[in-house]
Amino acid sequence: MLSTAPGALAHVPVVLLDLDGTLVDSGPGIVAALEHAFTVSGEQLPSPEVLRTFIGPPLTESLQGTLGLSAEKTEQLRLAYVEHYQANGVLAAPPYPGVLDLLQRLAEQGRTVAVATNKPEITARRLLDHQGLAGELTLIGGTDRAVGRTGKAEVIGSVLRRLGIAPATVPAVMIGDRIHDAEGAARHGVPALLAGWGYGGVAEQRADIARVESVVELSALLMS
């Protein structure tokens, strides 16, 4: 398990970051888009607690795995969600306090900093551009249904390939708020930290995965 002592990861040249619940507080925009999708589809709206679990993982996975919806109904909801979110949600996802400063400091040190998110890549780029964060990043990686890149492990693999990085020879770390961030990173031999300020909650804490509770703590961990 990674150390969370100040400066413990200052030597790591490659930092991969989740987006929702890690860099930006995108929950309100996501939930609003979900509520719209359920309303227009005529499906019963899940409880707020259930909707919160949808923030982060692939939407199709949540709709089918959590609610047991058919493939047809899942696609109907997904399309309604995407339409609403792209028009409204990307504008309602402010960075968490301290995030911009952290990204700027990492960039000044010459570190490779990339986003690896389950959001469609084009949506992630638009959001990060709007929030003024894109310019601090080396690469923005997300899902792309056209090429079959639909889960976190596939996204992380794509990001590493595009960066030309082999984790066996170049140290890297993944930081995200959900357990699937850590599991996806593990598929590529990349250790992970859980972001305690995001949407994972106590249920996704694991004794074998380190956790930081604030952007301030993460900054201290990554800086010398």
Which residues are identified as catalytic?
18, 20
* Sheet of strand 192-195, all strands in order from the earlier edge strand to the far edge: 139-143, 112-120, 14-17, 172-176, 192-195, 210-212
**How would you write 17-84 as a 3-class SS string?**
ECCECCCECCHHHHHHHHHHHHHHHCCCCCCHHHHHHCCCCCHHHHHHHCCCCCHHHHHHHHHHHHHH
Q: How far apart are CA 112 and CA 163, in angstroms?
A: 9
Q: Do strands 172-176 and 14-17 pair parallel, antiparallel, or not at all (unpaired)?
A: parallel
* Amino acid letter, residue 37: A
The residue type at 163: L
